[in-house]
Amino acid sequence: MSPLLFLLVVLSGAVTGVLGALLGIGGGIFLIPVLVMGFGLPMHQAVAASVVTIIATSSATASVYVDKGISNIRLGMSLEVMTTIGAVLGGVTANYLPGAALQKIFAMFLLVMAGLMWNKTRRHAAARVAFDASASITGEYYDEAEKQTVRYSVRRLPAAMLASIVAGNLSGLLGIGGGLIKVPVMNMVSGIPMKAATATSNFMIGVTAVASAFIYFSYGHLDPLYTSAAVLGVLAGSQLGTRIGAKLHSRTIVYVFIVLILVVAARMMFA
């Protein structure tokens, strides 16, 4: 790996970290296409590198959200049971699929996610529901932007758990965090405020990723040079992302991101 290549991979990781922190996702949907199409890394190695960078994103952001009480640990652990099982199954399955097939599945996944993100942005305000103290899981946090304490109760937990096993499976299969599935499900299905959903997802994605990271490692797909360079970039980028996130209009970021992933999906589908 030349110094220039190293810097480019670090830069890609930094962009991934910024996007991850801004959008509450692992960032694999950006990093994997860059590693595959930009640097010519085989699909399996790109997925393995992405899985490790998700752990970096999660570790860098989760501690902040847990300390502030925004992450709902009980909800996160309840969903994580299903997600880790899905992630292990996905990690094993991915190693029996050819790289081209994995690439096509990834492109189709991107298209679905673009639709979900578009939908989520348009229906952002629809998720707040009345607080139910008898719910099995409740939560509260202080919202600095709204300058008030937000209380919420979790509803339809079994449905969220079912979605979590799908998110975990896709995470292990495609090297993504699964936040793009978990966050909309927690928000739209379980009625959790977006901030708590994003923070809880950030707590979860690292645990989900580690379950499949060992599987990828055992198959020899982990390239230490690309992975470490991307991780260093992600660690820097996620710090930067959490600082600039508050100053940017989130809806604009999401629309730009949707265009970006549509372009990437088209290229991966027809490459």
Partner 1 sequence: MAGITVSGALMLIGFALYAAQPSWYDAPIPVANFDWLTGLAASPLSAVLGNPFVFLYAGIFALMLTPILRLFITGWTFLVERDWHYVGITVIVLTVIAISIAFSITH
Residues that bind partner 1 (CB under 8 A): 1-3, 6, 52, 55-56, 58-60, 62-63, 73-74, 77-78, 80-81, 84-85, 87-88, 91-92, 206-207, 209-215, 217-220, 222-225, 227-229, 231-232, 235
Cα 161 off chain centre by: 17
Q: How far is the CB of 153 from partner 1 (least distance, A)?
A: 17
Q: How far apart are CA 169 and CA 212, in angstroms?
A: 9
Q: How far is the CB of 237 from partner 1 (least distance, A)?
A: 13
Q: Which CB sits closer to partner 1, 199 or 264?
A: 199
Question: Both tokens of residue 176?
Answer: 């993504």
Strands 148-153 and 138-143: antiparallel
Q: Which CB sits closer to partner 1, 164 or 257?
A: 164
Q: How far is the CB of 59 from partner 1 (least distance, A)?
A: 5
Q: How far is the CB of 118 from partner 1 (least distance, A)?
A: 31
Q: Which CB sits closer to partner 1, 56 or 265?
A: 56
| Residue 217 near residue 44, CB atoms below 8 Å | no
Question: Both tokens of residue 88?
Answer: 């292990």
Q: Which CB sits closer to partner 1, 59 or 121?
A: 59
Q: Which CB sits closer to partner 1, 32 or 215?
A: 215
Q: How far is the CB of 49 from partner 1 (least distance, A)?
A: 10
Burial call 234-265: b when 16+ CB within 10 Å, e when fewer: bbbbbbebbeeeeeeeeeebbeebbebbbebb
Per the DSSP assignment, residues forming a β-bridge with 138 are 153
Q: How far apart are CA 160 and CA 13, in angstroms?
A: 30
Q: How far is the CB of 62 from partner 1 (least distance, A)?
A: 7
Q: What are the φ and ψ backbone dihedral angles of 123, each rounded to 5 degrees? A: -110, 30
Q: CA-CA distances (angstroms) from residue 106 to 85, 170, 190, 209, 265?
A: 20, 9, 26, 17, 8
Q: Which CB sits closer to partner 1, 4 or 130?
A: 4
Q: How far is the CB of 85 from partner 1 (least distance, A)?
A: 6
Q: Which CB sits closer to partner 1, 142 or 219?
A: 219
